[in-house]
Amino acid sequence: MTVYRPFIDDLAHLARHEGERYIVLRPAGAVPASYEDVRAAVRRQCRGLPVSFPSEPHVTLAGFAKGTPLDAVRELAAEWAARTPALTIEVDGAGTFPTPFQIVVVRIRRTAELVDGLASLRELALRRSLTQILTVPASDWVFHLTVAYCETLEVTAWANVASFVETLRPSPAKSTVGEAEVVAFDDGCEYSGGVVTLASKD
């Protein structure tokens, strides 16, 4: 039996997602290794600061409001996966999202297949009247792996972190992801809502 590896293990961060559901991609191979190099460097830079780090790298494609039935998200994910080919995740550098977000990220190369996958998933969710909490349109979405949440840092501390991140050069890495995961948050815990297999590219 495969043991589920949660994406978030910080209790305060878990509380912020209570009742929410997400559809995400979990990269494998060289991508997590490149990501971990960046995360380790940021951890060292932020030692002693109130910063939260995800426990596993992931590309978030959609999020749904508290109270959204888990079965509804599972059905959406299954329908979307059946018509979406496996997706390629490629590291494209390190960066940050500015205040008020103050998030350190590993950027993922923007490709037509990722944009199409994101847009089709959100369109299907709209047709199913699921309340989405990630409202940035596909045309503007920055694909990324979150490295660190730094929203509580004061101005100078955040500026120092952001400047440090500009010096980082993640190792080139690419992987093809053939599954998407439904992630749920209830009662202070994260758990798997299921895994769906993406369509073959052949």
Question: What are the sequence ranges of the domains in the chain?
Answer: 11-184
Q: What is the mean pLDDT of residues 7-14?
A: 92
Task: Supply the pLDDT for residue 135.
Answer: 87
Task: Supply the pLDDT for residue 26.
Answer: 97
Q: Which CATH superfamily is domain 11-184 in?
A: Cyclic phosphodiesterase (3.90.1140.10)
User: What whole-number distance in Å separates Cα of residue 108 and Cα of residue 145?
Assistant: 7
Is the confidence at residue 44, as pLDDT, over 70?
Answer: yes
User: What whole-number distance in Å separates Cα of residue 182 and Cα of residue 64?
Assistant: 11
26: CB partners within 8 A, 6+ apart: 7, 56, 57, 58, 177, 179, 181
More confident call, 200 vs 202: 200
Q: Give the pLDDT confidence of 84-128 residue by residue, as tens digits.
A: 999 999 999 999 999 999 999 999 999 999 999 999 999 999 999
**Can you name the residues that pair with 146 across neighbouring β-strands?**
105
Confidence at 145, pLDDT banded by 50, 70, 90: very high
CA 64 to chain centre: 14
Q: Give the pLDDT confidence of 183-196 residue by residue, as tens digits.
A: 999 999 999 999 99
**Tokens 């999202």, located at residue:** 97
Is the confidence at residue 202, as pLDDT, over 70?
Answer: no
Q: Residue 33, SS3?
A: helix
Mean pLDDT of the chain: 96
Count of CA atoms in the C-beta half-sphere (13 A) of 143: 26
Do the strands 21-25 and 103-108 form a parallel or antiparallel pair, or are they unpaired?
unpaired
**Can you name the residues that pair with 94 across neighbouring β-strands?**
106
Task: Supply the pLDDT for residue 61.
Answer: 97
Tokens matching residue 155:
């101005």
0.85 exceeded by pTM: yes
Count of CA atoms in the C-beta half-sphere (13 A) of 134: 24
User: What whole-number distance in Å separates Cα of residue 107 and Cα of residue 173?
Assistant: 11
Question: Could you tell me if 122 and 62 are in contact, meaning their C-beta atoms sit under 8 angstroms apart?
Answer: yes
